Structure 1
């Protein structure tokens, strides 16, 4: 399966310095969606959004646009993947408002959270059963970067995020590439190809079961 590369940023507010590179009319999201075909919703990490809010966002963008949504910190940082099924069900019910425009769900874990099969492994299995679409995981504890955990993620069709700068060794199966920078950095990468040139090698190593790569 050939991967589809979707380029976007975390959030869609258009800075004044780059306003002339976007359409003049419409909401920030509608204007943003004329230049990019993906975005990461990271406000979901801090607070829940109504289903109607997700529906409104989905209605503001073209059909091919995709939203990557960060899983709430209640699940990842506060409950640390334990006894988290109730808030997970609530979150999944909310993001269902995006419909077919829902892209990968981002599971970003705290650096202090090691991999334990009885907690993390069980949570990942539950998450995969509940989510038919793309899931990407950004672990930041060294215990997640060993062959047996790689095998668990592969079996569950959960890809890993490659962050730049990387807090961990290079990953071999990537489906979300996270460059740290704002809209200006993303515009520069898309326009000049300085960073996008390297995506051919990343694309070649992507998990074929997960067709979307968001940057």
Structure 2
């Protein structure tokens, strides 16, 4: 099995929120996989990617029929990760795409390292803007609203990589997400496990249409994408 083989450390750097490690696992008789480890905690790898693609696909589908124009809806991707979400967004019907990644090491592993094969050159797409910043700081800063926020910076709302990340899922953090969405916009949050508490938090923060999509995995509980809408309070001309 792939995960029974000892990994090889390719790079180790001190990042904004602690140590980041890029590892290669397997490859002796198969394709192998690259892994990102944050502060000793497994964050993500390149072995699958179905749930990361679902993150952007489900958000785009949820916007269907809402009258978005001008070349497609806009999306913010919270976390560059191993690049599956960005590659999917660039290959589908999105317009403006912003990627917010706070760790320069991760950007470097895409620009000059092996993860570039998984982001598939999307960082050079003219629709894509890379923002090296803390996600919550960017959401609270100035700028145009987005039609969708697709967030994948942790193993889930209940399993954060760093303690400070918990503020994103707090009432004030969810307020920042809602306020940065256009009316009728979609918030999509990746998680390694379902969270009824997070669904309740979304409703308490004023989101509508809260639901959870599941992706079965080989072992353990399914990966999920939590979806919710900002109320579409735009006026309609008659």
TM-score bracket, normalised by the shorter chain, equals: 0.3 to 0.5
- Is the strand fraction higher in 1 or 2? 2
When normalised by structure 2's length, the TM-score is 0.33
Higher helix proportion: 1
TM-score by length of 1: 0.35
